[in-house]
Structure 1
Amino acid sequence: MIKSVAFTLAGLSLLIAQTLHAAPLRIAADPIPHAEILEYVQKIDPQLDLKIVEMSSGGINPNELLASGDVDANYFQHLPYLKDQEKALGKTFSVAAEVHIEPLGIYSHKIKSLADLPEGASIAVPNNAPNLSRSLHLLQDKGVIKLKDTGNAVTTLVTPEDIVDNPKKIKIVQIESPQIPRALDDVDAAIINGNYALEAGLVPAKDALGLESADHNPYANLLVTRPELVKDPRIIQLAKDLTSPQVAKFIQEKYNGSVIPVANSQHD
């Protein structure tokens, strides 16, 4: 009986190893920090064969690639954005892991603090609904505007029409997220997603005039796959690696507060 169990366990281990080596796991990711984190995972876990498909700014939607089967997973988005995408695409995806938080930041080439925002200042914000709402809440948190109470900030999205107090008559300029860093010279300030800020050479923890708090932050970046792959041994292993203390330490040391491991935040 003991020999039989031993043979069974040995066979199971061999099956898992064969599955991990059967085919590369194709994963779409933004270049910074997502692809960099995945490259580190590949370094510490060479048994897991990853084919990292880096997504350039704009262009192809990683969720469309995932839905069509062109990739097996993606790593670039938070849950409110994913839910919005599921509605838009008419698809259902599965979250395999919550990995890190990229605090949204307010940046400017023209002012040194938010108190210096001039009357009628223009602020560029992402034009997709979840990050637009997130940006408006950040402006409210920093005392720039006030929004009407719409309940849960994540499940109930707000728009500029929900601004009830705007003492400096701020103008909200909606731009595609990847293009916002290029617009910094054309506006008084801009709200930029962490990955695009890093790609533009900004250091969120140092350069942002206002930064989203990581405590209880609901915008963790996710490893996402299709429902039929959520129990794939390769997905399970990648999720385990991405949420490991070793990867958390790498994120901490490489990004120095600009990217924060979920395990090190007070995320619920």
Structure 2
Amino acid sequence: MSFIKLIAYGLAVSGLLLGTAQAGEKLVIGATPVPHGEILEFIKPIVAKQGVDLDIRIFSDYIQPNAQLVSKQLGANYYQYRPFLNDYNRERGTNLVSIVPVHIEPFVAYSQKLTDVTQLEDGAKVAIPNDPVNGGRGLLLLQKLGLIKLKGKAELDSPEDPLPTQKDIVDNPRHLKIIELESAILPRALSQVELAALNGNYVLEAKLPLDKSLYIEKGQDGKNIWAEYLVTRPENKDDKAIRIVAEALNSDATREFIKARYKGAIYPAF
């Protein structure tokens, strides 16, 4: 299905969505560029038909979209999974809430120097994200590859489960030097390390060939633990504009857009 046809289809089904919000009601929403911002741009004309003016603000980091939602500079955001949201709420005493899951991104082991993890030499540099949740997911990925051993569970059973830190490493037979870097710069740091654990959105944004990954953890666990959610403040969760955006994000048109635009690089979570 062409993008023009997809947009036309989206506009056609918009009439099936929730009743019209107040004319010209603005919802300022934060997102990272790819794929979140692109998906929001797709639904923008759909929700406009329902009276919601979607003002999309793009961020390059994982902290400001939540910080600005708490400070009411944003009305919602769309860029995170629930383990990250839960950690943010726990650490900062906030109570942001998830509304609907939209898509699932892969989490990958990537290298520009190796074609197989067995080529990692003793003392090799391996990079993981520097925030507690994505860093913990990176450590779980290294364990799946047989590179380290962690104490505790090998997988999360729920979004509330704690993720490991480097202090939880009980065996590192190759004496890997695990360094922590901001998720957004990890693709640019690939030349400086032998292996990196990358978030799917930054793989897409950097236009790295996903099929060149050494390992792809798809995150499709049947529990939507790693699904990316629309998030807002608790007092806004029942607002008509939020509900209209939520339904547009979970519409058939958006599902078809995700499939056509990303060709299996990400997956609908609804």
Q: CA deviation at 1:79?
A: 0.6
Cα 1:138/1:92, change in 2 over 3 Å = same
Aligned to 1:207: 212
For the Cα contact (< 8 Å) 1:203–1:258, is it kept in 2?
no
Q: CA deviation at 1:150?
A: 4.4
1:185-222 alpha-carbon deviations (Å, 9 max, x no partner): 11001111111111111133x12111113321511111
Question: Mapping of 1:113-152 within 5 angstroms?
Answer: 113-150=116-153
Aligned to 1:67: 70
Give the TM-score taking structure 2 as reference length: 0.85
Other structure's SS at 2:94 match: coil
For the Cα contact (< 8 Å) 1:126–1:175, is it kept in 2?
yes
- Listed as ranges, the gaps of 5+ residues in structure 2 are 1-17
For residue 26 of structure 1, the aligned residue among 25, 28, 35 is 28
Separation in 2 of the partners of 1:212 and 1:38? 25
Is 1:17 matched up with 2:23?
no
Is 1:97 matched up with 2:105?
no
Cα 1:169/1:210, change in 2 over 3 Å = same
Aligned to 1:40: 42
**Paired AA for residue 38 in structure 2:** E
Q: CA deviation at 1:151?
A: 7.5
Q: CA deviation at 1:147?
A: 1.3
For residue 194 of structure 1, the aligned residue among 194, 200, 203 is 200
Computing the radius of gyration over CA atoms, which structure comes out larger, 1 or 2?
A: 1
Aligned to 1:177: 183
Question: Mapping of 1:75-90 within 5 angstroms?
Answer: 75-90=78-93
Identity of aligned residues (%): 41
Aligned to 2:56: 52
**Paired AA for residue 207 in structure 2:** G
Aligned to 2:265: 258
For the Cα contact (< 8 Å) 2:149–2:171, is it kept in 1?
yes
Separation in 1 of the partners of 2:154 and 2:204? 32
**Paired AA for residue 51 in structure 1:** D
Give the TM-score taking structure 1 as reference length: 0.86
> How many residue pairs were aligned?
246
Q: CA deviation at 1:178?
A: 1.0
Aligned to 1:161: 167
Separation in 2 of the partners of 1:59 and 1:94? 16
